[in-house]
Amino acid sequence: MNFDYSGEQQMLLDSVLRYGLDNWSADKRLACLKDLPSNVTKSWAEMADLGWLMLSIPEEEGGLGGTPVDVMALMEGIGRHLIPVPYVTSCVLVPALLSGTGETATEILEGIGLGNIRAAAGFLESEGGFDLNYVGLSAELSDNRWLLSGEKVHVEDGGDADWYVVSARTAGSIMDSDGISLFLISANSPGLKVENFRAVDGHTHSRLRLDNVNATLVGEKDQALMRIESAVDRAITAHVAEAVASMEMANAVTLDYLGTRRQFGVSIGSFQVLQHRAVDMAIAAEEARSMMLHATLNLNADPVTRKRAVSAAKTRVGQTGLYVAKQAVQLHGGVGTCDELIISHHLKRQMMLDTAYGQADYHRTRFANVS
């Protein structure tokens, strides 16, 4: 039983923190956001050079074979400085979906690791909420080619992906656990329409409409749900680490503000009500960090244990993350709502992290029903 990072993990975290501070710190952020796509592209290339993009890709597929704890260390750095790169999608989720499924996948993974390819994954459909087994998008085999038709309403970080991994129905009917398969499609496939949306936190998401799109089957036919759930749990857990680091930064910034901002002739940190609020925010961050460790260290456990751990973490970190970010804004007063201060950016990211892959209540229900 041990909660310490190894020396290498600590070094990784320190480098990401330094990178974030140098490139995305509060004072540089507004300028970066003005030309967000090119700054993200620049960071992506630099992260590729640093080897970070191949962290969780298995060694046999050109990566570093990093563990969940390695990913957690990296995500702490990303979260603390709110680096708006599609890291979790491209470098955690997609590798977990593709790894070990064969040659095409290996090529894509190598490209991701080197920074040459970005990929995203689409599971969710209209009227399906966050349910991963709600898959109606059809895959038909015709002349030995898979043709996909249907819609994915939300693809996290789909905005600038070169490839999409999507779930499709190859057997059974909508909501069946069996009969779901994974497919790879290129972003410029004929018949694919990509609609992009900017989120409030600088990420770009997509809606996909497919009309007989040529696709490559990935992994076991009909039996992809377990793989998808496991990969999404990894993505969620990485997000959880990002959220925890963002909470801790928001707390640090707020604590600093409480000490320096003066009203009615005294520092506002001398007001007991604000002191106790800061304490509750600190406790919230402690709880969140504990849940992050709990989820991360159970990612390789049996599926029931893993799902309960991940959903518990997603629930509590969603709740405490929003609490901390909202209170951080509140304690800053009017300026807390301004773009100029970093604090509003933490709130926006926390809102989006809570939404990604299911809000707190969705995961509380999943936690209760896993068996």
Partner 1 sequence: MNLEFTNEELAFQEEVRSFFAEVVPKEWLTRVRAGLRLEPKELIAYQKALAERGWGAPNWPKEFGGTGWGPTQIYIFESEATRAGAPIQFHQGLELIGPIIFTYGSDEQKKRFLPGIINADDWWCQGYSEPGAGSDLASLKTTAAKDGDEYVLNGQKMWTSYAHVASHMFVLARTSNEEKRQQGISLLLVDMKTPGIQVKPIDTMDEKHHTNEVFLDDVRVPVNNLVGEEGRGWGYGKVLLDRERMVSAANAIHIQQVIDGARAAAERLIAGVPLYKTPTFSSKFAQLEIEATALKTMVLRLMADAAAGVDSGPRGSMVKLRWSELYQSAMGLWLEALGPEAAHFRGLENTQAPSDMPYAMQGALYSRVTSIYGGSSEIQRNIIARRALGL
CB of residue 79 to partner 1, shortest distance in Å:
17
Residue 302, contacted partner among its own copies, partner 1, none, CB below 5-8 A by kind: none
Q: Which of 2, 144, 272, 371 binds its own copies (CB under 8 A)?
A: 272
Q: Enumerate residues 6+ apart whose C-beta is below 8 A from 215.
A: 139, 146, 147, 148, 166, 168, 183, 184, 185, 189
CB of residue 273 to its own copies, shortest distance in Å:
5
Residue 112, both tokens: 């991701």
Q: How far apart are CA 350 and CA 130, in angstroms?
A: 18
Residue 235 makes contact with partner 1 by CB under 8 A: no
Residue 297 makes contact with partner 1 by CB under 8 A: yes
| Cα separation values, 90 from 52, 116, 158, 264, 285, Å | 12, 11, 9, 50, 27
- The count of residues interacting with its own copies (CB under 8 A) is 4
Residue 310 makes contact with partner 1 by CB under 8 A: no
Helices 272-296 and 225-260 meet at what angle, rounded to 10? 160
Decide whether 84 or 269 has the Cβ nearer to partner 1: 269
Decide whether 107 or 201 has the Cβ nearer to partner 1: 201
Tell which positions 192-211 bind partner 1, by CB under 8 A.
195-200, 203-205, 207
Sign of torsion over alpha carbons 30, 35, 36, 39? negative
Decide whether 108 or 135 has the Cβ nearer to partner 1: 135
Buried b (16+ CB within 10 A) or exposed e, 327-358: bbbebbeeebeeeebbbbbbbbbbbbbbbbbb
Q: Enumerate residues 6+ apart whose C-beta is below 8 A from 211.
A: 149, 191, 192, 193
| Cα separation values, 31 from 20, 105, 250, 278, Å | 14, 37, 20, 30
CB of residue 250 to partner 1, shortest distance in Å:
13
Residue 194 bridge partners (DSSP): 208
Q: How far apart are CA 7 and CA 5, in angstroms?
A: 6
Residue 298 makes contact with partner 1 by CB under 8 A: yes
Residue 307, contacted partner among partner 1, its own copies, none, CB below 5-8 A by kind: none
Find the part of the chain contacting its own copies (CB under 8 A) among 161-169, 207-215, 268-276, 339-347.
268-276
Residue 1 makes contact with its own copies by CB under 8 A: no
Please choose, from the candidates 97, 214, 195, the residue with its C-alpha nearest in 3D space to the C-alpha of residue 154. 195
Residue 171, contacted partner among its own copies, partner 1, none, CB below 5-8 A by kind: none
Residue 333, contacted partner among partner 1, its own copies, none, CB below 5-8 A by kind: partner 1
Residue 203, contacted partner among its own copies, partner 1, none, CB below 5-8 A by kind: partner 1
Residue 273 makes contact with its own copies by CB under 8 A: yes
Decide whether 28 or 277 has the Cβ nearer to its own copies: 277
Tell which positions 150-179 bind partner 1, by CB under 8 A.
153-154, 156, 159, 175
Residue 348 makes contact with partner 1 by CB under 8 A: yes
Q: How far apart are CA 232 and CA 253, in angstroms?
A: 31
Q: List contacts with its own copies (CB under 8 A).
A: 271-273, 276
